[in-house]
């Protein structure tokens, strides 16, 4: 049962006021809000069993280790990975991408090609440019059309025997486009290339099946799925993770250390140097449980209703343009828009005065803004705890901002 009022009651922050108005939080693509169940798990950890993991024989250390490893299994089962040791805890999506990009330094040579898409967040562009600088590999880009959809025919032409790796987001944070990742993965594999999918924007909305996708690497962040910041995961197929060298050296990631030679621990520890975000990992597991109790089908249906409703209402405003795929197509609950003649920042500032949180700017995706020849957009992004009444408030606030700024 999808009881929106009961769900909203789980999120203490939704009771607060901003600038004298009840908070309307529509910046979920940047970070989601945290339910009491996850907050309680964080308090419980620090109140009752805060200890370093994997090393201690004492009770607290064992309790913390058990909870942390259980969280790894929750991630494994939720995303249907074959093995728990294919799940590497990270500080988030950015960390996971950098780990893989760093590992490929020793696998690429001058003239090898790697392929990105025009729809990416900077964190799925910059680490690969750095990799190209280190190795002499060449970065190619799958272009997009004016609907913000990838041009798959060009992608097929870009693939060749020289292609070693393809990295694309599952869902675009700037436009909400859902990319045809299964097709992208299959085509890359036919060409002999590996694939990394940036799932940062997808995991709050859809449940990816990693084995069915047959993807080589998948990365995401806990804080977009009702979990804490500073936690996330990298999934890698066992063979790939064995092939990649460690990212950082330190404690926890070794088998034996001497000044003559150090050997590394097996998976997943090889990639988890140092004391990790223990509490963050555990709370991530609790957040996944929370979202599963609501149900991803329920979440997708409800958010799609909000998307359709908000799109229709916003488009009734004269001069308002929405960027990205048509709402009947492959799109999730992100609306990126501008009003002719107005700067997105000014609209964002005025709606904030009315208690409404939206994001303005380039959304860490400058190439997309350059493509549309705009400085940025106003982005409203919805979660399952938003309501149609909140959409109405957004629409009224945008109308008011337009009136003040025109
Ligand atoms: N990729 C996408 C598509 C994103 O939306 C984000 C976060 N906005 C990231 C990567 C980076 O995630 P994080 O900052 O949690 O590492």
- pLDDT for the residue 288: 98
Q: What is the pLDDT of residues 327-341, one digit of tens each?
A: 888 999 999 999 999
Q: Which two tokens stand for residue 2?
A: 């999808």
Quote ipTM for the complex.
0.99
Nearest to 219 by CA among 235, 241, 203, 243: 235
pTM above 0.95, yes or no: yes
pLDDT of residue 209 exceeding 90, the answer is: yes
The sign one gets for the Cα dihedral 368, 371, 376, 381 is negative
What pLDDT does residue 286 have? 98
Domains and CATH numbers, the chain: 4-30+295-405 (3.90.1150.10), 39-292 (3.40.640.10)
Ligand 1 center from residue 218 Cα (angstroms): 13
CA distance 341 to 240: 50
Q: Of ligand 1's atoms, which has the minimum distance to the CA of residue 224?
A: 15
Question: Does 1 have pLDDT greater than 80?
Answer: no
Q: How far apart are CA 161 and CA 166, in angstroms?
A: 13
Helix H or strand E encompassing 43: helix 36-48
pLDDT digits (tens, 9 = 90+) for 113-149: 999 999 999 999 999 999 999 999 999 999 999 999 9
Omega before 268 cis (within 30°)? Answer: yes
Token digits of residue 300: 């997708």
The per-residue pLDDT for range 68-109, each reduced to its tens digit, is: 999 999 999 999 999 999 999 999 999 999 999 999 999 999
Q: Which atom of ligand 1 is nearest to the CA of 91?
A: 16
Pocket test for ligand 1, best of 32, 100, 124, 200 (most atoms within 8 A of CB): 200
Selection from 128, 212, 121 nearest residue 165 by Cα: 128
Distances (CA, A) of 360 to 17, 336, 351, 381, 391: 21, 9, 11, 11, 17
State mean pLDDT over 219-248: 97
CB–CB of 384/7 below 8 Å?
A: yes
Probe ligand 1: pick from 364, 365, 368, 381, max atoms within 8 Å of CB?
A: 364
Q: Is 364 a catalytic residue?
A: yes
Residue identifier of the C-alpha nearest atom 4 of ligand 1? 200
Q: pLDDT tens-digit profile of 255-306?
A: 999 999 999 999 999 999 999 999 999 999 999 999 999 999 999 999 999 9
Give the Å distance between the CA of 213 and the centre of ligand 1. 21
179 Cβ closer than 6 Å to some ligand 1 atom: no
Q: Is 230 in the pocket of ligand 1 (CB under 6 A)?
A: no
pLDDT of residue 56: 79
Q: Are strands 262-264 and 254-257 parallel, antiparallel or unpaired?
A: antiparallel
Is ligand 1 within 6 A of the CB of residue 170?
no
């Amino acid at each position: 049962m999808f009881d929106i009022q009961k769900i909203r009651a789980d999120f203490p922050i939704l009771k607060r006021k901003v600038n004298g108005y009840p908070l309307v939080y529509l910046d979920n693509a940047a970070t989601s809000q945290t339910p009491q169940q996850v907050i309680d798990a964080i308090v419980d950890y620090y109140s009752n069993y805060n200890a370093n993991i994997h090393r201690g024989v004492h009770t607290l250390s064992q309790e913390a280790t058990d909870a942390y490893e259980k969280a790894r299994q929750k991630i494994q089962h939720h995303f249907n990975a074959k093995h728990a040791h294919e799940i590497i805890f990270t500080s988030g999506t950015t960390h996971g991408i950098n780990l893989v990009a760093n590992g490929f330094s020793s696998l690429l040579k001058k003239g090898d090609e790697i392929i990105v898409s025009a729809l990416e967040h900077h964190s799925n562009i910059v680490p690969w440019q750095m990799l190209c600088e280190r190795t002499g590999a060449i970065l190619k880009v799958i272009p997009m059309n004016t609907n913000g959809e990838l041009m798959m025919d060009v992608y097929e032409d870009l693939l060749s025997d020289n292609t070693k790796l393809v990295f694309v987001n599952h869902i675009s944070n700037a436009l909400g486009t859902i990319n045809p990742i299964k097709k992208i993965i299959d085509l890359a594999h036919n060409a002999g290339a590996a694939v990394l999918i940036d799932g940062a924007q997808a995991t709050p909305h859809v449940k990816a099946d990693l084995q069915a996708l047959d993807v080589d690497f998948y990365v995401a962040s806990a804080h977009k799925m009702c979990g804490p910041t500073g936690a996330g995961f990298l999934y890698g197929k066992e063979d790939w993770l064995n092939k990649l060298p460690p990212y950082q050296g330190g404690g926890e990631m070794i088998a034996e250390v001497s000044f003559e030679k150090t050997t590394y621990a097996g998976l997943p520890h090889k990639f988890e140097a140092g004391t990790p975000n223990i509490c963050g990992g555990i709370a991530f597991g609790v957040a996944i449980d929370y979202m599963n109790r609501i149900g991803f089908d329920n979440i997708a249906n409800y958010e799609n209703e909000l998307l359709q409703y908000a799109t229709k209402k916003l488009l009734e405003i004269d001069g308002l343009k929405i960027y990205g795929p048509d709402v009947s197509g492959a799109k999730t609950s992100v609306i990126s828009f501008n009003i002719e003649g107005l700067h997105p920042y000014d609209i964002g500032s005025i709606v904030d005065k009315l208690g409404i949180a939206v994001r303005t700017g380039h959304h860490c995706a400058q190439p997309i803004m350059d493509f549309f020849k705009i400085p940025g957009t106003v982005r409203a992004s919805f979660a399952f705890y938003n309501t149609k009444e909140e959409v109405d408030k957004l629409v009224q606030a945008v109308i008011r901002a337009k009136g003040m700024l025109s």
